[in-house]
Chains A and B, each alone.
Chain A
């Protein structure tokens, strides 16, 4: 994912850049409004996500936001704000922000929001992997139902991917547990049951059922 980070506080900018780079994203950093516009002129269409601080030394981040929305850019914009005025959040969303994060924030929350933002902005690629009633985009890890993305939390996505990858679409609880958690995480089978329950509830509307097979686990079944 190619990110444009617009943040003027040196330490925060440095940490953000290093965190995103470590997560294999390509990062351009702008510390002023002027630099942000320069980056945008050079490689605007290539950005998947913009992380935008609202208070910059030479102006308001919202100026940049309004300018790129005026130029009909659909790039996902996550605004970082330290302000607490209630109207500001509404103003930011009205100005074209897709989401906002109030400082300080957890890096995991930042990652999660960026993922959602990136996926939301994706278009449906041709020749996707069929998984009735869905189609799966393995590059971006997105399930499509007709023209819409299926809204799944990360654990639910991992579970559905497990069924997709397994021949016969039958998964044991143990294999699902391996999918969900790393070795050093202390979890029980109950966690798998809870996430399976939630996935079941979400996909019921699409005609998908998860049959419980005694001693074996679950089987994915589409009943149109």
Chain B
């Protein structure tokens, strides 16, 4: 029951909305994926937006500058004495050079006639009347930003002067990219700081849950004491619910235990009285009646034995699920089992011999379950042993396993020994065996990661080998 609660807390670490999902998943991993996606999208968005804004601002600034310089050039073209006088203002070009280290192209035309500068510049709208034009065009395999201004040369407007000024844009593009990168980097740094804060917060939130899980995992199966840990209010609600569930399970377990104890007592005590009464009766009778009274007593004891084995199996199911293991001195455990069964064996004249090695054998196991398994194996061996025969018990140790051998001089296990390890299968035809002893021993071995092997010995008799990993 406690293990269910542990699983419950494990699930509670996950988000409540996902409790119904079957596949386990990590909240941290999911958050990390979501945040990474948002980070990438936000970075690209910031880069593109910053890039567009920067481009617009830089372009406007370049256009204004080019327009100012083109105006200065245009102002330097004047009519004097029926001719045109033009003196190129070099200092204006210097201003352009200071602003950005770019290539500069210019052209001055009188109507359609080029009077100064590059003659092969792109031909924009030269129609009369256009005073200002801004356009980007490719010149000499480079993108060049052009500004064209015009003015009439005389008041009659018979002649027009055009100034076309162009500047490449490489450094401006670099500036735009730098601004966009800076904006995106700022966003990434801010987001990463927020993500770290988020993860730290999440970690702090999950820490009490990990403590609860550790607390539940490390406690013995029957420990139902409330979980106490410092936790935020949100987690405290879960702890309260968990403690209420623990309390409920504790009460349920106590109730079912008390019921089993009481029921066992109520069933077995009258059987004990019946058994003794029939035994005493047998003493007073003779002949067939005596045998029948004796049989009654024997049947009563075997009924009780079956009840005992059924309850043992039920108790083992509970114990073995929880893997209660402790270091156990195996030789001491075997001696104690032999002591318990010696009176039973003596009445049949069967000797229980423990062939002990000198070295102590220490194994990690559920000692109570292993004791019960050994009682089953030896009880079974005594039942099937002929009178005055011997049962040998010995331990064999290998680097990986410890084997407990129980060897008897009985009829062995027949042609299909494995079948006898199933519950309620017995070779007895007198209906006096419970048929659960070997099944219990097999189960205890399996739950310890070991096995039970039943062998027919060449010299006769059976041998049970209970093998447990070291």
**Residues of A contacting B388 with CB < 8 Å?**
190-191, 194-195
Q: Mark A1-44, 1 if CB is under 8 A from B, else 0.
A: 00000000101100110110000000000000000000000000
- The answer to whether A15 and B273 have CB atoms under 8 Å apart is yes
Indicate whether A182 reaches chain B with its CB closer than 8 angstroms.
no
Which stretch from A80-88, A124-132, A159-167, A208-216 is at the chain B interface?
Answer: A80-88
A158 to chain B, nearest CB (A): 12
User: Is there an interface contact between B261 and A83, defined as CB atoms closer than 8 Å?
Assistant: yes
* Chain B contacts with A in 260-274, Cβ cutoff 8 A: 260-262, 264-265, 267-274
Does A116 have its Cβ within 8 Å of any Cβ on chain B? yes
Provide the residues of chain B in CB contact with A82, threshold 8 Å: 264-265, 267-269, 272
Contact partner, B349, options A86, A116, A194, Cβ 8 Å: A194
Q: Are A84's CB and B273's CB within 8 A? A: no
Contacts of B261 in A (CB 8 A): 55, 83, 85, 88
User: Cβ of B441 < 8 Å from any Cβ of A?
Assistant: no
- Docked Cα-Cα span, A11 to B271, in Å, equals 11
B277 touches A15 (CB 8 A): yes
- Indicate with 1 or 0, residue by residue over B262-294, a CB within 8 angstroms of chain A CB atoms: 101101111111111101100000000000000
* A169 interfacial contact with B, CB 8 Å: no
Q: Are A12 and B307 also in contact (CB < 8 A) when A84-B315, A87-B368 are?
A: no
Flag if B268 contacts A103 (CB, 8 Å). yes
> CB-nearest residue of chain B relative to A87?
B368
Q: Which residues of A contact B344 (CB under 8 A)?
A: 109
**A89 CB to nearest B CB, Å:** 8
The B contact surface, by secondary structure, is: helix
How far apart sit A80 and B280, CA to CA, in the bound complex (Å)? 19
A104 pairs with B300, CB closer than 8 A: yes
B300 touches A112 (CB 8 A): no
**Given the complex, which residues of B lie within 8 Å of A80, measured CB to CB?**
272
How many B residues have CB within 8 A of the partner chain?
Answer: 41
A9 contacts across to B, CB distance below 8 A: 269-270, 272-273
Would you give the shortest CB distance from A176 to chain B, in whole angstroms? 14
Contact in complex: B272, A86 (CB < 8 Å): no
Assess whether A154 is in contact with B346, with CB atoms less than 8 Å apart.
yes
A85 touches B270 (CB 8 A): no
Query: B60 contacts the other chain (Cβ, under 8 Å)?
Result: no
A12 contact set on B, CB distance < 8 A? 269, 272-273, 276
The answer to whether the Cβ of B401 comes within 8 Å of any Cβ in the partner chain is: no
Nearest chain B residue, comparing its CB with the CB of A151 = B342
Main secondary structure of the interface of A (DSSP, over half): helix
CA of A87 to CA of B261, assembled, Å:
12
Q: Please, which residue of chain A has its CB at the minimum distance from the CB of B387?
A: A191
Of chain A, the residue at the smallest CB distance from B372 is A86
Q: Contact mask B347-363 → A, CB, 8 Å, 1/0?
A: 10101000000000000
Which chain B residues border A84 with CB–CB below 8 Å? 260, 264, 307-308, 311-312, 315
Query: Is there contact, CB below 8 Å, between B349 and A155?
Result: yes
Contacting pair B273 A11 (CB below 8 A): yes
- Minimum C-beta distance from B461 to chain A (A): 16
Please encode chain A, from 39 to 74, with 1 for each CB lying within 8 Å of some chain B CB and 0 for all others.
000000000000000010000000000000000000
Per the CB 8 Å criterion, the residue count for chain A at the interface is 36
Please determine whether A109 and B347 come into contact, CB atoms closer than 8 angstroms: yes
A94 touches B (CB below 8 Å)? no
Q: Chain B residues near A104 (CB, 8 Å)? A: 268, 271-276, 300-301, 304
Bitwise, B326-351 to A at CB < 8 A (1) or not (0) is 00000000000000001110110101
Is B279 in contact with A107, judged by CB distance below 8 angstroms?
A: yes
Residues of chain B within 8 A of A87, CB atoms compared: 368
**Is A103's CB under 8 angstroms from B347's CB?**
no
**Are A86's CB and B369's CB within 8 A?**
yes
The verdict on B319 contacting chain A, using a C-beta distance below 8 Å, is yes
Closest residue on chain A to residue B309 by CB atoms: A84
B residues near A105, Cβ cutoff 8 Å: 272, 275, 301
Smallest CB separation, B95 vs chain A (Å): 99
Would you call A223 an interface residue if the criterion is a C-beta within 8 Å of the partner chain's C-beta atoms?
A: no
Chain A nearest CB, measured from B56 CB (Å): 83
Residues of A within 8 A of B419 (CB): none
Chain B contacts for A90, CB-based, 8 A: 368
Check: B257 CB closer than 8 A to any chain A CB.
Answer: yes
Give the contacting residue for B280; candidates A18, A55, A194; CB below 8 A. Answer: A18
Task: Give Cα A191 to B273, complex, Å.
Answer: 34
A52 smallest CB distance to B (angstroms): 14
Give which listed residue, A86, A112, A113, contacts B319 with CB less than 8 A: A86
A107 to nearest B CB, angstroms? Answer: 5
Interface string of B58-69 (1 = CB under 8 A from A): 000000000000
Residues of A within 8 A of B265 (CB): 55, 82-83
User: Which residues of B are found within 8 Å of A175, using beta-carbon distances?
Assistant: none
Q: Which residues of B contact A (CB under 8 A)?
A: 257, 260-262, 264-265, 267-277, 279-280, 297, 300-301, 304, 307-308, 311-312, 315-316, 319, 342-344, 346-347, 349, 351, 368-369, 372, 388
Pick 12 A–B contacts, CB within 8 A, sort by A: A9-B270, A19-B280, A83-B265, A84-B312, A90-B368, A106-B275, A106-B279, A106-B347, A109-B344, A191-B388, A194-B349, A195-B388
If A104-B272, A112-B347 are given as contacts, then 13 extra A-B residue pairs at C-beta distance below 8 Å, sorted by A number, are A11-B277, A12-B276, A16-B276, A19-B276, A55-B261, A85-B311, A86-B312, A90-B368, A102-B268, A103-B269, A104-B300, A109-B344, A153-B342
Give the 9 A-B residue pairs with the shortest CB-CB distance, closest first: A104-B272, A82-B268, A103-B272, A84-B311, A104-B275, A11-B273, A12-B273, A15-B276, A194-B388
